[in-house]
Structure 1
Amino acid sequence: MKPRVLLKCDNVGYSTSSASGNSVEEKWDILKLSLELHAGERASFRFQNEEQKQVLWRLFLQKLKPKTGSFIISAKTHIHSDDN
């Protein structure tokens, strides 16, 4: 029997827009993230900057919605960080 899926991301992306002169640029904090975590598994992530870390954390806590892809967290799943 497979452990139940706790979190599933399929091609998830999140971007912010910034105005620069006459054009608007999109800055992707998360792009094409796909993963599936089952009960009992752990994951570790590496980021280029603190903003990427905060965006992923807020996506996991469902405070942000992805701009692309699908993101599913099963009921009663608690997200935890080992950060001090």
Structure 2
Amino acid sequence: MTSTMLKILALLFMFLDHIAEFIPGAPIWLHWIGRISAPIFFFCMAWGFYYTSNRKVYLSRMYGFGVIMALINYICNNIYQDPYC
């Protein structure tokens, strides 16, 4: 199984977890399946770090994407005001 296949599988697992989170009455086993996605992504990240040719660029990309996700999370949670809440 390639790392791309692992990432797609983890993406599907994460999608199932999000379904269980946002749809009331969803079965609990969707959460159980969805929790497998994080270790798969961590494995792919460590595997990519091991086999990359330039570790400094790889770490800077991971850090950059982490900062971008943190900014989006901050904007969604603190700045955007939902009129229906």
Q: TM-score, normalised by structure 2?
A: 0.27
* Greater relative contact order (CA < 8 Å, ≥ 6 in sequence): 1
Structure having the higher helix fraction is 2
Is the radius of gyration larger for structure 1 or structure 2?
Answer: 2
Q: Point out the structure with the larger strand share.
A: 1
